[in-house]
Amino acid sequence: MSTTDEEVKQEGSRTGTIIKWSVTAVILVMALIVSVRWLTWRMEHVVTDAGFVKAHVVVIAPEVPGKILSLLVKEGDVVQAGQVIAELDATDYSQRVDMAAAEVRQFVAQKDLATAKLALATGDVPAQIHAAEATEVATRQAQVQARANEAYLAAQHRRLSALLEQRAIGRAKFDEIDAAYKTACAASEASEAQVLVASAKLAEARTSQAKITEAEAGERQAVEALAKFQEGLKLAQTTLGKTKLITPQAGIIARKFVEPGDFVSPGRPVAALYDPAGIYVEARFEETKLSHLRIGQRVELRFDALGGRTLHGTVRMIHRASAGEFALIPRDVTAGEFTKLTQRIPVEIDFAEDVPRASLIPGMSVEVAACREGRNEK
């Protein structure tokens, strides 16, 4: 009886040993299969875990200095193109606009006055010249007539004077001609004086032509001054408009750098935004792996935030310089201290349709794998 129990125990022990070794063998076979598949996959692909979700970030900064009066967005807000996100204190800029507008009104009045003077000069001076010319012509004609009358009466006076000496006519007849002759002489002298006066007035009227030139110059100066101050008003209005910070494109506010009450100067960042539709992956591959990459190549993406499941993308650009060339403090090997390191080249990758863009934000980590050149992608 005891012998039978001992045999049962030995049989159970052998069975347990067989099971243990069978399980171990299965595990080893499975591990071998997984290892072989993993090694095969790694041999067929170039892989990097130096990949990150990227976006083209737009930094919004003021063009004029001022104190932040109000900040109308917070981080994570969705904004539209042209939306006001912050306002600066515009008191000083509003006053400048008012001053410029007052100066424009002043020079508008001066320009209108100069235009009126020009219109008056343009209307009066030609009329004065025309009237003076007509007067001069009339006086010269009267002078010609007076001289002709004087010459006729002079001849009559000489003839009748001779007849009077011969007592061929009476004294009364001679006195009549003598009086007429003297009157004609006086009229001739008066006509000469009238011609001189008319000529002087014509010369004065023609001299008044300079008033038109002067009025034209005055109006031209007024117009130029008005244009100058109108440009100043436009500049003041443009500067006033810059106290409102607007978004150049639609997107998501990634970060704000100031708070209400802060004083900002031109170029100081107020907020940064990015367009979620434009996010992509920047993967940095070792320079020894670049020969296996090409633009348009399909790649595998594994995002830590998405549980590591395999998604896809397409290579859109391979940078023409290593990432180290863009470092803020580049390597200095002029002293001869040099350690050779494999450089990494940035590669930009667009998302395929299976990537849930809404679940990704810039900065997330991603592992990128690309099938080696000459091998078919699985």
For the stretch 339-377, pLDDT in tens is 677 788 899 999 999 899 888 989 999 999 888 764 444
Listed by start position, the domains of the chain span 59-90+241-273, 93-240
* Per-residue model confidence (pLDDT) at position 335: 60
76 to each of 73, 188, 256, 275, how far by Cα in Å? 9, 105, 10, 12
134: closest CA among 187, 212, 188, 199? 199
Look at residue 244 and tell me whether its pLDDT is greater than 80: yes
**pLDDT tens-digit readout, 94-113:** 999 999 999 999 989 988 88
**Second-level CATH architecture of 59-90+241-273:** Beta Barrel (2.40)
What pLDDT, on a 0 to 100 scale, did the predictor assign at position 333?
61
Res 1: pLDDT: 44
In this structure, what is the dihedral angle of CA atoms 350, 355, 361, 362, given to the nearest 10 degrees? Answer: -20
Say yes or no to pLDDT of 7 above 70: no
Higher pLDDT, 325 or 290: 290
Q: According to the model, what pLDDT value does residue 364 have?
A: 92
pLDDT band at 45 (very low <50, low <70, confident <90, very high): confident
- 117-146 average pLDDT score: 74
Beta-sheet strand order (sheet of 84-88): 244-246, 84-88, 66-71, 263-264
* SS3 of residue 116 by DSSP: helix
Q: Mean pLDDT highest for which of 82-86, 143-147, 162-166?
A: 82-86
pLDDT above 80 (res 309): yes
Residue 378 predicted with pLDDT over 60: no
pLDDT of 339: 65
Question: 91-165 and 209-241 are packed helices; what angle lies between their axes, rounded to 10 degrees?
Answer: 170
For 117-137, the DSSP string reads: HHHHHHHHHHHHHHHHHHHHH
Q: Are 88 and 289 in contact (CB under 8 A)?
A: no
User: Average pLDDT in the 190-209 region?
Assistant: 73
**24-29 average pLDDT score:** 79
In the predicted model, what is the mean pLDDT of residues 205-232?
82
pLDDT-based confidence at residue 206 (cuts at 50, 70, 90)? low
Mean pLDDT across 120-133:
68
Whether the pLDDT of residue 80 is over 60: the answer is yes
